[in-house]
Structures are given as structure tokens and as C-alpha cells.
Amino acid sequence: MSRIQIDPASDILGLIDVQPTFMPGGELPVTDGDAVVAPINRLLAGPFRHAFATQDWHPPGHASFATSHSGRAPYEEIDMPYGRQTLWPDHGVRGSANAAIHPDIMQDPIAVIIRKGILPHIDSYSAFFENDRRTATGLDGWLRGRGFQRLFLTGLATDFCVAWSAEDAANLGYTTFVVEDCCRGIGLPVAGGGTTMDAARARLGALGVQFVPSDWLV
């Protein structure tokens, strides 16, 4: 495969957490995270007429913050009522400048913004569900109501919020793509070897999610 023809009626670009909080200088920076802005804008100005976006939008003292757990450090894991939870530096705090969509993003094609992690007791990586895997964000209903069938996901971070969104999209029946040069990952080590990037690629590949470069999209 070398080219994918975009159908404006049924294809949509997803911007996952393209926020300064996840970029150099932010509270939870992804290496080279700001490099996603330019290629995303090229897609927004080119083949895609429709887009959606997500934002981490945490209340202060969110349960996913390491500072909310005495004696815990960022990137440790703990058990929460909904499962294992990585603890993060405080980030994406609602109303803060760094929680906004990056100011250089061309926002005209963005039809809906899903704010994630707004409940103080539960984290949310996916654009579709909170981390309990049951509480829906409403994005699936919106996409189906508008007739979108193929999702092209971009943003931060590849191995967390982008990957969880892609996994849910595939399981919900959407043809799903991750636009590689429009994403950046964290790459935390995992038990048994490899990184969270390796694990995400393996998991998504088994679901039929395709990783493609932006210049394939025309």
C-alpha cells in the first residue's frame, strides 16, 4: 500500500491530546512532542474536511497524579478500583494554558472536542472510554451519527492515549489508522523486556490497526 484516498464523507482525523502539557516545556513532556503540530496541520489543510480532538482535562488533585498518593513517585504503578494505574506528574489541569489545544493547531475543521479525565477518581486514556472500560465519553455515538467509518489518529502519546483510542476504535468496528509521523511516544520499559511502544504496536497490529505515514493520505 502506498496511497490511501481520503473520503471526506466517511473519513475523519482524530487529534489525541495535542496539548502543550505533553510537549517540551510542559508538565508531562513527550520527547519531540511539539513536532506533531506541523504535519497535523498539513492534514487539516489538505485531505481531511472533518476532525475531532481530545483534551486531558483533569481537576486538581486527580487520582492519577503521583502527588495525590503519599510516598509515591511519577511512573510508579498502583492498583485502583478499575485496575492498574500509572501515576503521572500533575498535568492537563483543567483551565490551565497548557491544557488547551496547542495554539498553533488549525482548529477550523475540528467539529467536536472530547475532554477526558474530568472525573477526579478515574483516569481516561481512550477517546472512547474512561479507564474502567465501561464509562463512555460519547464519541462513538457522535461518530456513528455523522456516518464516519474510518478513523485516522494522531497526537500524544502513541503508546498511551493514541493506542488506547485506536484499540477501542477497532473493537467498536471502525477501520483504524495511526498516522505515525503525526504521533510521538513515551516508551516506558515493560516487564519481560521491550517498551510500551513495542507492546502498543503488537496489540494494535493484532486488531488490524495500520500504522501509516501522513504522505500516504491523499
> What structural domains does the chain harbor?
11-57+92-216 (3.40.50.850)
Name the residues annotated as catalytic. 17, 116, 161
* Separation of alpha carbons 142 and 145, rounded Å: 5
Instruction: For the full predicted model, state whether its pTM sits above 0.85.
Output: yes
* Separation of alpha carbons 101 and 53, rounded Å: 8
- The ranges of the chain with pLDDT < 70 are 1
Angle 207-208-209 (CA atoms, 0-180°, nearest 5)? Answer: 95
pLDDT of 92-138, one tens digit each? 999 999 999 999 999 999 999 999 999 999 999 999 999 999 999 99
Task: Give the residue ranges of DSSP H helices in 46-195.
Answer: 139-146, 163-171
